[in-house]
Structure 1
Amino acid sequence: MKNLSEAEVKLRIAKRVAEMLPDGGFVNLGVGIPTLAVDYLPAGKRLYIQTENGMLGVGPKPRSEAEIIPNLINASRTPITETPGCCYFDSATSFAMIRSGRMDATVIGAIQVNERGDLANWALPGKGVLGLGGAMDLVVGVKEVIVATSHTAKNGKHKLVKSCTVPLTGIGVVNTLVTEYAVFKFKDGKMFLTEHTSDITLDEMQAMTSAHYELAEKIQIREV
């Protein structure tokens, strides 16, 4: 298995997520790695990207400092651009979109995901906590929840676990999980490996995953 830099991990995940987002869909991108996906959308794919701080029609990051507008930022507080027809609104309208089921998907980060699709993504013991924020609305209000996260934490601890040990964001809410090495799907409370990269073996995958998962009938191997 190839050891990847932090930048390589983020790039792999963002590119894979960008490929699976629904063409023509309304999609919310959460803080961190998820916000990078808009920079890697395949040519011709049209999406309406929403950021919960009040914009529909998020474009990729500015190509130069000259294009940066200080007040034009996403949920990660990083500069973004506009797409034709974009619009702005207050927080109440933003969450009305989310809570009413109008968003096709959200891409969200994770601290832990367990084998039943429970998600924990907002609090770590001993760390400062700002609050759960909009994550709890997103995971129950959208049609599909895609988790985008590194396979393990920076200290090597497993993030794909049998049971979450930190506060939960939602129970059984994850539909798809994307890491730098794999794609997992969740159905009927079970976790299935549907894809892995060519630079990792199934044994290596098992060694870095505490969660129990089953192999899909047909597993795609992604060349990297």
Structure 2
Amino acid sequence: MASTPIKRTTTQSAPAQKALAAKAVKAPRRTQEDRSRITKDKLLAAAIEVLLRDGYSGLTMKEVAKASGVSNGALMHHYTTKAELVVEATAMVYEEAIVRGQRMAQTAGAAEKPIEGFITDCMSIYFDWPFLAALETLVVARTDPELMAKILPVMERYRVTCDDIWMDVFKKAGVPAKRARILLNLSLNLVRGMGLNRMWRHDDLHYQTYIKEWIAMANQQLQALK
């Protein structure tokens, strides 16, 4: 919410005016590091926006600069190539996804319903824009070894970290590691495959039906272990 502007009136005392002036003087100024971080955040957010709208092939540095409100010169100061910009933007998205997954895994009910928790976490990525943004880059990277070398560590870090988070949840739920790994991979590939299918079949009720069936079957396996 925007702050209400202070109205300067003739009844305002001189001490009050001095206090306001002193406060303005003492307000901390942004450092060069702060300004650089803010600029990069604007550029990365704009890169994702343009990537989702125009795809990797349609993304240009000029368009990202325009969408971010940052000058072309400032953009080139931070990112010299389109690949560098897109990879870092994708990394930013997946770092946030890791944080969200950690929060979900730490909830009280996660160990009580680990399958439901993991699938919900997966759907927040693969049924939403983070997966689409990464997919745009991965399709191009398939035939571009240099780009693949940059984007692959980002994807692998997300996957390994996410698996570690949820393997710990399954361990707390008393599920043997081998069985937990199988259930995680089957659940992941089910949701990820549906995420791909959603690009042309926008019928979430259809996917929810099969996800519920899978959760029921997976929970039956977990119950059998107790």
Which has the higher Rg, Structure 1 or Structure 2? Answer: 2
TM-score bracket relative to the smaller structure:
under 0.3
Higher percent of residues as helix? 2
TM-score (norm 1): 0.24
Query: 1 or 2, which has the higher strand percentage?
Result: 1
